[in-house]
Structures are given as structure tokens and as C-alpha cells.
Amino acid sequence: MSPDAVLSRPSRRRPPSWLAWGSASLLGAFLALAPAPVDATLDHARMRAAMSAEYGSQGVRALDEWLNLIDRLRGADLRTQLRDVNDFFNRKMQWLEDRTIWRQSDYWATPIESLGRGAGDCEDYSIAKYVTLKELGIPISKLRMIYVRARLGRSQITQAHMVLGYYETPGAEPLILDNIAAGISRASLRTDLDPLFSFNSSGLWAGGTTQSRADPLARLSRWRNALDRMRQQGIQ
């Protein structure tokens, strides 16, 4: 997220009104269930060609680590998939501002680009985790990237931030995968985050609604551009 996204107005410290707030049973028995398999959406040959052309052998090694992670997690239980995908990208990528990486104020990178550079900002972590979990068979209806206001330390200053949410049902309390937090937690425990809106490849949600309000591709041009580049790189 661009540093220009720091919000000047201090936020009041209050419990966040999370999107589609739901049952606290989210960490319960369903986490032991493996998602139903889906058709593969990654073209390994095209991905390797794109990575090699842009980032060389070091990029290809990072890509192979990612593909090995996906192979290892196929058929694993949901808890393991969420944990290991979150840990992988938090470990493999260094957080840097878009101006440093891309010389742009706000650029949404594909997983190929993020792994090739070995760096990204909050959107890039969220996109890479979303694509990976989708490839592992988790329906996109259960995955949303969530824009939030994140409070900085103990201050009342907030900054725009993005996390990935896992929703067992549309009305459930999400689990939050975040590059600035070591583990995964229920949204209600993240009192430092105030949700603004969420989106995935099929919908955009605002406020406290559980129904999609709009086509995210029309509202989020950077998301559309990232999806277009992913398709060119072999990621559907």
C-alpha cells in the first residue's frame, strides 16, 4: 500500500464492524476437512518461461519452491493449507513500498512478479496467498481480499492496508491472513483493523453486507490489470 494512503484523521478505538460477521466456530471441526479438488489453473511451462525471461535462474528457483509448496499441500487439511501458505509468502517476500520496487505509487503485482523480486507490499502478499489457496481447491466464494484501516502501534493514526480473509460461509467471521502478523487469527481478535470493503474474482462487498454489490473488475482497475498479467504468465 502506498504511503500516501495514511489516513490523517485519527480513528476511535472501537471493536471493528467486520464484513459478514458470523459464528465464532470458525476455528472448529471444519478446519480438519480438506477442500474438494478442482481443475488445475496453473500452466507450469508458461510460468517458468515468464519467470526465466524476467528474473532469471533465481526467479525460477523461487517459482519451483512455490510449486513444490502447492504439490505438498494438495489434499492437506484446511488448517495446514492456510497456515503454510500464509507462512510461505510472509517468509519469502520482503515488505517494500511500491515506489521502491516498481517506481510507482501503487502497483498490484502478480505472484510471479512478487516472487521474482522477492518483495512486495500488502496487496501483493494477499494476491499471492489468494491465488495459491484457489489453486489448492478452496472456492473463491470463501476467499476475499479485505481493505482495512490498520492502526499503527498504540497510536490512533491509521494506514490503509490489505489482508486476505477466509470465510467458511458468506456470513461467517473470517480468518485473517496478514503479512504483518505472525499467525492466522479470527477477525474479532484483530482489534487493530477496521474493515472497509472486500473483493475477490467474482464480487465486491462494502460495509456490513453479505451480498456482492458490484463487479470488482469495473471498480478495481489495478486488480483487473493484475488478473490480465497473471493470465499472460500462465495463471488462470
pLDDT band at 218 (very low <50, low <70, confident <90, very high): low
86, 177 Cβ separation under 8 angstroms? yes
| H helices present in 6-145, as ranges | 44-73, 78-92, 98-101, 111-117, 122-135
Domain total of the chain: 1
Residue 92 has pLDDT above 70, yes or no: yes
Q: What is the pLDDT of residue 213?
A: 63
Cell digits for 78? Answer: 484446511
| Region of 10 on the Ramachandran plot (φ > 0 left; ψ -120 to 50 alpha; else beta) | beta
CATH of the domain at 53: 3.10.620.30
- Print the domain residue range for 97: 3-232
**pLDDT tens sequence across 158-194:** 888 999 999 999 889 999 999 998 899 999 999 999 9
Report how far residue 98's alpha carbon sits from residue 129's, in angstroms, rounded to the nearest whole number. Answer: 18
Pairing between β-strand 119-120 and β-strand 94-95 as defined by DSSP bridges: parallel
